[in-house]
A and B are shown apart, each in its own frame.
With several copies, the nearest count.
Chain A
Amino acid sequence: MATKLLIEAIRDGLAEAMDQDERVMIIGEDVGRRGGVFRVTEGLMDTYGEMRVVDSPLAESLIVGVAIGAAANGMLPVAEIQFLDFIPPAMDQLMSEAAKLRYRSNGDWDCPIVIRTPYGGGIHGALYHSQSIEAVFTHIPGLKVVAPIDPADAKGLLTSAIYDPDPVIFLEHKKGYRSIRGEVPDNGHTVPIGKARIAREGSDLTIISYGMYLQESLAAADAYVEEHGGSIEVIDLRSLKPLDSDAILESVMKTGKALIVHEANMFGGIGGEIAAIIAEHAFAYLDGPVTRLASPDVPAMPFSPPLEQAFVRDKNDIRAAIEKLAAF
């Protein structure tokens, strides 16, 4: 085990898979010579050549479409979309093709592709380099969506995703790339898709989160407990689809209180789905309203710092929400 940055854990996961399995290939804009605009794929083209690390033309629909075709013909493609904000041109290939290939062929074909893409804000990325539009994909049957923030989880889920026989959208928080550090096991480490992780154990209130807002949630929980005592559980979803509703329900049935926190816009975000599951299946256990804290329903983080700051929810906001819910 070694301590690694989130970005290093992901790079290692990629390099390991490329090294061990000739079917693994990478395709995306600037992933080759440049090693990706965030440097996730740095050095891989030198080692594995231009047919396994493909600097694609500037065309996201093509990137995903080619990955689907290559997967049909025996490869395990890992496509990179440079920013999640630029995935919409590929929506048809993702929703109509990757998500439905297995189903429409009655299981004859499959689509073992991974779409890696940086998401999230807080880095002055403005409207088109900050978005968290994962809910668009979590609604689509046939897709899987993961959003690990812990480096070990990221490496383990990446390996699982590469070998998963279904299409997986792999979300990498760009603010976390070089700010989150953790112990990462060396070789062959996998984390199952669809399983949440209890990031902090507790018994009075459950926070359900993922991504950078998980980090803020942990900090808020610490601060709250330090001041008020009590015990707060924090769940890191890691996988958004399939969602680990068992883990969520188990925790909420124990604590009676649920606070859902995410960076995506509130309306129609995955938080709504989680709240609905809790409200329906843990109704009798609830000691307070299922509460959501999420981004305001504004297109995305504006560029100017005061506006970006106004958009962001931080540990103080989360702490205030804990206080309100705990006091209910």
Chain B
Amino acid sequence: MATVSGRPDVDVDLTHEQLREMYELMLLARALDERMWLLNRAGQAPFAVSGQGHEGAQAGAGFALDPSKDWLVPYYRDLTLALRFGTSPRDVMLHMLARAADPNSGGRQMPGHYSSKAHRILSGSSPIATQIPHATGIAFAAKARGEDTVVITGFGDGATSEGDFHEAMNFASIYKLGVIFLCENNGYAISVPQKKQMAVERVADYAKGYDMPGVTVDGLDAVEVYAVAKEAVDRARRGEGPTLIEAIVRRLTPHSSDDDDRTYRSAEELEDMHSSGPLRVTRNRLMEIGALSDDWEQETKERIKTLVNDATEHAEQSPLPDPGTLADHVYAKDGSRM
């Protein structure tokens, strides 16, 4: 158990070792993410989409869940969450390089579309917000069978404008389903700033229309997010219903490798944004309470580098899909679910 000091203090039931694990997850996600961005810039992959700046929100929330039984319904920035649920660095790179062995999609989807039935990570599409009702349906099935499974779904601030978000929030609350709605608010939907996206100051305010707790939290601080998410997960597990968590994060990259955010973010804004991020904020937290050492960090970063290199090489050497498999999996080959 640790009381984690900082601004503000939070009480969390994590050991120092667990806190380090959480931070390590963020470091791994960042390293993979940077590598992917690089692969795109080097012309080895036609597309990259990044979660840089979102790692704290996802790591904090992810650690509040139990990957051995809970579900993840991610969106394209949820690399950290996917790793937490069991996606491996090799899985990520096979996906990035669209190899036949990509367990997420067999090379069919753009990067960023994490999926694994074994790990209860539901495959997502590219249309925004469609996954939110899925999370709700998963939780409904669990409740119908009397299970205490919790489902977390990630989405951006832009996603809150789609009807699907509202329809799902409403249903989840009526049936008191175990869903964590994690809005990773980075202030932009591609180029559209929050003030043109919504009338409210806080995404968390949407919870008021659904008689649901709505919490805004500093998404740069994984520990704070953990504390908020833990409460929400406990509540969900007790059958008391869903929570909307708004984690304020930063999109440290352009929207995707196809975007150029200098056309809509000023130089000052870009500079200011890069002045800090979830890695620094979370690291400071852990340093303050003595959960981190420079040695550990050095070693860990080395280990991660090896992992990322291995994953990249593995993917590079892995074969591309066989064109003859194009028409596979449009429908089931055989049978019935009888």
- Touch test A–B (CB under 8 Å): yes
Residues of A whose CB lies within 8 Å of any CB of B are 25, 29-30, 32-35, 37, 51-52, 54-59, 61-62, 64-77, 85-86, 88-89, 92-93, 96-97, 100-110, 112, 124-129, 141-142, 144, 160, 163-166, 296-299, 302-307, 309-311
Residues of A within 8 A of B116 (CB): 108
CA of A306 to CA of B141, assembled, Å: 38
Structural contact, A65 and B190, CB atoms closer than 8 A: no
Structural contact, A102 and B332, CB atoms closer than 8 A: yes
7 further contact pairs, Cβ within 8 A, besides A37-B258, A75-B141, A104-B109: A55-B191, A59-B161, A64-B133, A97-B125, A105-B123, A142-B330, A307-B321
B contact face: mostly helix, strand, loop, or mixed: loop
Residues of B whose CB lies within 8 Å of any CB of A are 46-47, 71, 73, 98-100, 102-110, 113, 115-117, 122-123, 125-130, 132-145, 149, 158-159, 161-164, 167-168, 170-171, 174, 189-192, 196-198, 258-259, 263-264, 320-332, 335-338
Identify the closest chain A residue to B97 (Cβ): A304
Structural contact, A306 and B322, CB atoms closer than 8 A: yes
A-B contact pairs, 5 of them (CB 8 A): A33-B191, A58-B161, A66-B140, A93-B164, A304-B98
Residues of B within 8 A of A124 (CB): 46-47
Residues of B within 8 A of A105 (CB): 104-106, 115, 117, 123, 329
Structural contact, A72 and B330, CB atoms closer than 8 A: no
CA of A307 to CA of B162, assembled, Å: 32
Residues of B within 8 A of A71 (CB): 137
Structural contact, A61 and B167, CB atoms closer than 8 A: yes
Structural contact, B108 and A302, CB atoms closer than 8 A: yes
Structural contact, A166 and B189, CB atoms closer than 8 A: no
Closest-CB distance, A299 to chain B (whole angstroms): 7
CA of A55 to CA of B171, assembled, Å: 11
Closest-CB distance, B78 to chain A (whole angstroms): 16
Q: Which of B122, B328, B331 contacts A109 (CB 8 A)?
A: B122
Q: Given A57-B171, A73-B141, are A97 and B109 also a contact pair (CB < 8 Å)?
A: no
CA of A54 to CA of B144, assembled, Å: 11
Structural contact, B137 and A30, CB atoms closer than 8 A: no
Structural contact, A109 and B115, CB atoms closer than 8 A: yes
Structural contact, B336 and A298, CB atoms closer than 8 A: no
Closest-CB distance, A253 to chain B (whole angstroms): 26
Residues of A within 8 A of B110 (CB): 125-129, 303
CA of A32 to CA of B140, assembled, Å: 17
Q: Given A55-B196, A73-B138, are A88 and B123 also a contact pair (CB < 8 Å)?
A: no
CA of A298 to CA of B326, assembled, Å: 8
Identify the closest chain A residue to B320 (Cβ): A306
Structural contact, A89 and B162, CB atoms closer than 8 A: yes
The 4 closest A-B pairs by CB, nearest first: A69-B137, A65-B133, A106-B106, A304-B107
Q: Given A67-B137, A104-B113, are A127 and B337 also a contact pair (CB < 8 Å)?
A: no
Structural contact, A307 and B327, CB atoms closer than 8 A: no
Structural contact, B332 and A34, CB atoms closer than 8 A: no
Structural contact, A128 and B191, CB atoms closer than 8 A: no
Identify the closest chain B residue to A141 (Cβ): B330
CA of A56 to CA of B303, assembled, Å: 45
CA of A88 to CA of B326, assembled, Å: 24
Residues of A within 8 A of B125 (CB): 96-97, 100, 104, 127-128
CA of A67 to CA of B136, assembled, Å: 9
Structural contact, A304 and B71, CB atoms closer than 8 A: no
Closest-CB distance, B141 to chain A (whole angstroms): 4
Structural contact, A55 and B192, CB atoms closer than 8 A: yes
Residues of B within 8 A of A142 (CB): 330-331
Structural contact, A299 and B330, CB atoms closer than 8 A: yes
CA of A76 to CA of B137, assembled, Å: 12
Structural contact, B337 and A76, CB atoms closer than 8 A: yes
CA of A69 to CA of B123, assembled, Å: 11
Q: Which of B47, B129, B170, B328 contacts A107 (CB 8 A)?
A: B328
Residues of B within 8 A of A108 (CB): 103, 115-117, 123
CA of A103 to CA of B104, assembled, Å: 11
CA of A302 to CA of B95, assembled, Å: 12
CA of A33 to CA of B197, assembled, Å: 14
Structural contact, A65 and B164, CB atoms closer than 8 A: yes
Residues of A within 8 A of B139 (CB): 69
Structural contact, B123 and A73, CB atoms closer than 8 A: no
Structural contact, B337 and A59, CB atoms closer than 8 A: no
Residues of A within 8 A of B328 (CB): 106-107
CA of A104 to CA of B329, assembled, Å: 8
Q: Which of B158, B163, B322 contacts A61 (CB 8 A)?
A: B163
Structural contact, B137 and A66, CB atoms closer than 8 A: yes
Identify the closest chain B residue to A110 (Cβ): B332
Residues of A within 8 A of B162 (CB): 58-59, 89
Residues of A within 8 A of B134 (CB): 65-66, 68-69, 72, 97
Residues of A within 8 A of B102 (CB): 106
